[in-house]
Structures are given as structure tokens and as C-alpha cells.
Amino acid sequence: MTDFHQITKKIGFLKELGLDYGNGPTAVMEWVLEHIHVYAGTPWWISIGLTALAVRVALFKPYMDASDVSARMSSVKDITTPIQKQMTVRGNPDAALKARLELQMIYKRAGIRPWKVFVPMLQVFTGYGMWNLLRGMSSLPVPGLEDGGALWFYNLTIPDPLFLLPAATSGLLYYTLKKGGETGSTTMSPQATRIMSVAFPAVSFLFTFWLPASVQLSFAATSGLSWIQMRLFQSARIRDSFGMYPLPQRKQVPASASPYKGTMRAPLTQAELDRKYEAATTQGTGFKAMVGRKMDEMTHTVKSVTSQGKDYLGQGKEKIAERLQKEELRDAQKYEERRKRELAEETEAKKKIASRRARRVESKMTRR
């Protein structure tokens, strides 16, 4: 029987212990963790953290590209959302194809390559590899893992007795998702973001609180690095340094566009106050006079809000009408071009028929 404690820590010693996972993601993470632990000579808890850092550094460029694409997609979301809805309309394949081509043209002009958003999904495989590897290492256990932790989680083969590591993972995951995810920007709706920011941390805690502390530590380190990366990608200085597209600013609804908000006014001057006071004294100081003045003010406010609302709706109707007019003009031009081709084909067919008839008549005359 092999004594695990007699095995020298060298490259390949984990396979000598029986941890041979072939050529999958677990084998890749085993190679990375083993090299860091052997060459750095660090305790297991630091080696696990350094492995998480190495994975994050390797995927930093794909995450940066994904953040750039997400910011670009958010900046044109108001334009692409109606087009994407047209693509899902059933019973009109021509309109769906037209919308798809229009969306591709917009993405091309905006420098958007949607496939780059999915490249960071490679972290799913590295996360699975670490989860599988550390569970196997804890079940042996690998020499040094039972006392290779720190503070309250010194034994990495058993779950965290205080549940602080899974709780920290869930807390960091909640804050990261709430602020836009690891890329610092998201194209999801606010409602979907809220659901994910609550559901994912809860599921994460339920699925990790019973796992060995080595696995919990790996997930906590990954969540902490995700939070740091999110903060970096939300910095305008960092985005400018790496040539990333700036994050779109949240739209502020103007006061004139809302019927529930008034317009900010500058403080009244003394002369205006005197005039208002004189008007009030001339109109009377009784209860009826005061009610009349209040009714006049309310009527004026309602008329102002109604006028502003009509102007706002009118602008929207003008934009819609202009867009419809352009679409109708394009459709009319396409119809004219198609009709010209059809007429040309009909004319050509008539000429061929007339030519055939003429040849037949000539052949008959020749026979006679």
C-alpha cells in the first residue's frame, strides 16, 4: 500500500496519488494547480487562490472584448430592440429576413461582433475542472490539505465550519451581478438583472455550503476577482486606457417630458415679488379670492402640462410617420423595379412569339 506522505511533491505527484483525469478540463486545472504549488512552494490555500488568479489573467482579454461589445450593444439598444421584435413575428418570413439583414448592418457599422460576448463562457469549464479536482483531492486527502488552510478554515478537506466562505461567495456574486456582471455592462432588462442577482447567489450558497473548504475557497477567490474586474471595467479611465467603448450613461427623463414634474425656475427677484404681492392685494384677501387664484394657477399648470405632452407625442408621431414614409418609399421603389423587369420579360416573350409566328408563315409560303 502506497504511503501518500512519502511521495515527493513534484510535477506529476497528483497522478501518482491516483488523480488521473485524462485530457479534459479537470486535467488542465490539475496541471495548472500542480505547477503553481510545486514551483511557488506556497501552502494549498494560496496555491488555490493563485490558480484562480491565473485563470482570470488568461481570460482577461476575452472579458475585455465582451465588455466592449456589451457597451456597444447597449448604446444601440433603442434602435435594435424594435428590429429584434420584428424578427420574432410569425407568418412573415420576408419581414423577418429584412429585419435580420438590417440588424446585421447596424452591428457592422457599430463594430459589434456578438460572438465575443460568449467567449468568457470558457470559465464554466475551468470552474468545473477546479470543482472536480479539489473534491478528488479532499476525498483522498492529498498530503498537506488537512492543514493547508488558514484562520478558521485551516482544514481544507471539510466544509467551512462558520459558512463564511460560501456566504462571501454569494455576497460578492450578488453585488457583481447587480452592477452588470463580470463585464461591467449588461444588455439584459433591469427585471432580469434583479432576478439573476438574487437567484444565482442563493443557488450558489445551497450548492456549496456542504462542499470541502478547498472548493469553497476556490469559488470565493473567483467571485472576489470577478468583483475586482467588474470595478475595473466600470472605470472610465481604465476603459479609455484599454481602448474600450465607454459605458452608456443612464438616461435622465427631462422634466418637460413628464406630466408629473414641473419646470425648475430661478428664484424670483424682489420686483417680481412686489408685483405678485400687489396683484394679490388687488384681487382681494378673502377666502373666495384665494380659491379663485389657486384655481387659476391649477388651470394654467394643467394647460402647460397638456401642451408639453402634445408636443412630446407629436414629435414621436412625426418620427414614426417619417420612418413609415421611408419604408413605403423603399417598398414602392422595389415594386417599380420588379414591375419593370416583369414588363421587359413580357415584351421579350411577345417578341419571341411574334418571331416564331413569322417563321411559320414564311415556311408555309415557301412550301406553296
Three-point CA angle 347, 351, 354, nearest 5°: 135
pLDDT digit string (tens) for 187-230? 677 777 788 888 888 998 998 888 999 999 999 999 999 999 88
The Cα 253–Cα 257 span in angstroms is 7
CB 156 within 8 A of CB 218: no
CB 242 within 8 A of CB 232: no
Q: Please tell me whether residue 234 adopts helix, strand or coil conformation.
A: coil
CB 175 within 8 A of CB 227: yes
Position 98 scores a pLDDT of 82
The Cα 232–Cα 137 span in angstroms is 34
DSSP at 1: -
CA proximity to 139, closest of 305, 225, 1, 19: 19
Mean pLDDT score of the chain: 78
Q: Which residues contact 14 (CB under 8 A, 6 or more apart)?
A: 30, 34, 137, 142
pLDDT at 49 over 90: yes
CA 360 vs CA 17, 36, 169: distances in Å? 96, 93, 91
CB 120 within 8 A of CB 63: yes
pLDDT digit string (tens) for 259-273? 444 444 444 455 554
Q: Residue 306's pLDDT band (boundaries 50, 70, 90)?
A: low
Q: Which span out of 34-48, 99-113, 172-186 was modeled with the highest average pLDDT?
A: 34-48
Position 93 scores a pLDDT of 79
CB 309 within 8 A of CB 259: yes
* pTM for this model (two decimals): 0.60
Position 129 scores a pLDDT of 92
Neighbours of 97 (CB within 10 A): 11
Backbone angles phi, psi at 250, to 5 degrees: -70, 135
pLDDT digit string (tens) for 118-129? 888 888 899 999
Position 77 scores a pLDDT of 80
Q: Please tell me whether residue 8 adopts helix, strand or coil conformation.
A: coil
The Cα 39–Cα 56 span in angstroms is 20
Cis amide bond preceding 159, omega within 30: no
Name the amino acid, one letter, at 328. Answer: E
